[in-house]
Amino acid sequence: MNEAQLLRKACQGDGPAVRALYEKYSPRVYAVVRRIAADDDLAQDYAQEAWIRAIRALPTFRGEARFSTWLHRIAVNSALQAVRTAETRHKREVPMPETLAVAPPARDALLSKKLEWALDRLPARMRKVLILHDVEGYTHDEIGELLGTTTGTSKSQLFKARGKMRVLLTDLDSSESPGSADAGKELEAWNI
Amino acid sequence: MEHLTHDTLARLVDERPNPDEREHIRACRRCAAELRAFRLQSDALEGLPALRPPSGDWASLEARLVSEGLVRTPETFRRFGFAAAPAWMQAAAAIVVFLGGTGFGLALTKGATSGGPSPEDMLLPMSQITSTEEAVRMVELAERAYMQTLARYRQFRGRSDGARVTDPLSLLTALEGLLAASQEAVRVAPADPVFNGFLINVLAERQEVLRQISTGRDDDWF
For B85, which of A15, A161, A169 is closest by C-beta distance?
Answer: A15
Q: ipTM score here?
A: 0.79
Interchain pair B52, A40: CB under 8 A: no
Q: What share of chain A is helix, strand, coil (3-state, %, to 5)?
A: 75, 0, 25
Q: CA of A111: how far to CAs of A23, A40, A134, A173, B45, in Å?
A: 26, 19, 16, 11, 10
First to last CA, chain A: 47
pLDDT tens, per residue, chain A with 192 residues: 788 889 998 988 888 999 999 999 999 999 999 999 998 989 999 999 999 999 999 988 888 889 999 999 999 999 998 888 764 555 444 455 555 555 555 457 788 889 999 999 999 999 999 999 999 999 999 999 999 999 999 999 999 999 999 999 999 888 764 444 444 444 344 443
Distances in Å between the Cα of B102 and the Cα atoms of A54, B125, B136 are 43, 15, 21
**Cα–Cα distance between A161 and A177 in angstroms, integer?**
26
Residue B74 to residue A15, Cβ atoms within 8 A:
yes
| pLDDT tens digit at each of 222 positions of chain B | 689 999 999 999 999 999 999 999 999 999 999 999 999 999 999 999 999 999 889 999 998 888 888 887 655 555 444 444 444 445 555 555 555 544 444 444 444 444 455 555 555 555 566 666 666 666 666 656 666 666 666 566 654 444 455 566 777 777 777 777 777 666 666 666 666 777 777 787 777 778 777 765 544 433
Tell me what pLDDT residue A111 has: 87
Q: What type of residue is B200?
A: I
| Distance from chain centroid for Cα B49 | 36
Chain A residue at shortest CA distance from B71: A13
Cβ neighbourhood burial of A68 (10 Å; 0-12, 13-18, 19+): middle
Residues in A closer than 8 angstroms to B36, CB to CB, are 192
Would you state the torsion angle of the CA atoms of residues B152, B157, B162, B166, taken in this order, to the nearest 10 degrees? 150
SS3 state at B102: coil
Given CB atoms, is A9 within the 8 Å cutoff of chain B? Answer: yes
How close B106 gets to chain A, by Cα (Å)? 30
User: What are all long-range contacts of B200-203, with beta carbons under 8 Å and residues at least 24 apart?
Assistant: B202/B175, B202/B178, B203/B179
pTM: 0.58
Query: What residues 18-57 of chain A have any CB closer than 8 A to a CB of chain B?
Result: 18-19, 22, 26-28, 30-31, 34-35, 40, 44, 47-48, 51-52, 55-56
Domains belonging to chain A, first-starting first, are 1-90 (1.10.1740.10), 106-192 (1.10.10.10)
- Spatial distance between the Cα atoms of B99 and A6, rounded to a whole number of angstroms: 32
H or E stretch at A100: strand A100-101
Cα–Cα nearest to A136, from B11, B38, B42: B42
Partner residue opposite B86 with nearest CB, options A14, A40, A167? A14
CB nearest B7 (choices: A108, A160, A191): A160
Chain A CB contacts of B11 under 8 Å are 155, 159
Q: Rounded to whole angstroms, how far apart are CA atoms B120 and B109?
A: 8
**Interchain pair A16, B74: CB under 8 A:** yes
Q: At what angle do helices A140-147 and A151-175 cross, to 10 degrees?
A: 100
